[in-house]
Amino acid sequence: MSTDGLSASRVQAVRACCLLFASTSFILGGAMMIDPASTWAMLGLDVGPNPFVQALYGGAIMGEGAMFALGAIWPVRYLVFFQYLVIYKTFACVAGIAVLLRMEPAPTGAWLVIGAWASAGLLAALVFPWGQWRNMERWC
């Protein structure tokens, strides 16, 4: 795998970001899978007696964590996952904000989630080597 033009410090930044995202995804996703109602209740959100969607979402977050764990091992091969994260977090934040603006009152914990997701999207955008876009296929 050639990384011509991608500095060693950029590869290390990608690896560190992958480790951060993997660990937080495993913690949050695991909690959501084990006890989704309590996890969401900590954020001030009542998911009702059948938190199927919330548990399913916890599994999706665990999958995200697994992808970032692979990215920590092979950071260049999994760079494209950062693009996915930027797009995914952007749409999730827009959707979440639209709902929260209509809630009376909107739970503070939910706004914290939006802030955390926006931060993750911004971090992913900062770490991704946008200026090296044309070289990515050659690297992988």
Q: What is the DSSP letter of 6?
A: -
Dump pLDDT digits (tens) for 17-38. 999 999 999 999 999 999 999 9
CA distances from 64 to 30, 50, 68, 99, 100 (A): 12, 24, 6, 24, 24
Give the dihedral of Cα atoms 37, 42, 44, 46; nearest 10 deg: 10
Compute the distance between CA of residue 89 and CA of residue 46 in angstroms, rounded to an integer: 22
**The one-letter amino acid at 9:** S
Q: What percent of the chain clears pLDDT 90, i.e. is strictly above it?
A: 69
Length of the chain, please? 140
Q: What is the DSSP letter of 48?
A: -
**pLDDT at residue 33, as a whole number:** 94
Dump pLDDT digits (tens) for 81-111. 999 999 999 999 999 999 999 999 999 988 9
Looking at 18-22, 52-56, 69-73, which range is the least confident one?
52-56
Dump pLDDT digits (tens) for 120-139. 999 999 999 887 767 766 66
Give the dihedral of Cα atoms 59, 24, 80, 118; nearest 10 deg: 100
